[in-house]
Amino acid sequence: AQRVTQPEKLLSVFKGAPVELKCNYSYSGSPELFWYVQYSRQRLQLLLRHISRESIKGFTADLNKGETSFHLKKPFAQEEDSAMYYCALSSQGGSEKLVFGKGTKLTVNP
């Protein structure tokens, strides 16, 4: 069964501090991993996906198949990064339905 675990419901850091949002997954095949962000009163939007290996808004995430993790990192957090972050998984080449983690609310304090 596909499962995504985000162990931290809430995460609070100070501006300028590094931030890491954890995501672990369970899937028997080759998954596609995504990070979505939802700012206050806005729709869910894609932040990054592992196959593109991009850095968006200073965030990066590396897929670690050995640890089945896809942690989201940013070296210097900004106040505007405060939002809900969801890790999601889909099967490659399948129906591509997304399975979401429960989300982590990140608060960046001034």
Partner 1 sequence: GAVVSQHPSWVICKSGTSVKIECRSLDFQATTMFWYRQFPKQSLMLMATSNEGSKATYEQGVEKDKFLINHASLTLSTLTVTSAHPEDSSFYICSARRTGLGEQYFGPGTRLTVT
Binding site for partner 1 (CB under 8 A): 32, 36, 42-46, 49, 86, 90, 95-103
**Cβ nearer to partner 1, comparing 15 with 56:** 56
Closer residue to partner 1 in complex, CB, 10/66: 10
How far does Cα 78 stand from its chain's mean position?
16
Question: Rounded to whole angstroms, how far apart are CA atoms 12 and 45?
Answer: 21
Of 13, 19, 98, 109, which is closest to residue 57 (Cα–Cα)? Answer: 19
- Determine the Cα–Cα distance for residues 34 and 60; give it in Å rounded to an integer: 11
Residue 109 CB, shortest distance to partner 1, in Å, is 20
Closest CB to partner 1 among residues 15, 98: 98
Min dist CB 48 to partner 1, Å, is 11
Residue 29 or residue 96: which is nearer to partner 1 going by CB? 96
b/e per residue 39-59 (b: at least 16 CB within 10 A): eeeeeeeebbbbeeeeeeeeb
Considering the complex, what minimum distance in angstroms separates the CB of residue 98 from partner 1?
6
CB of 55 to partner 1, least distance (A): 17
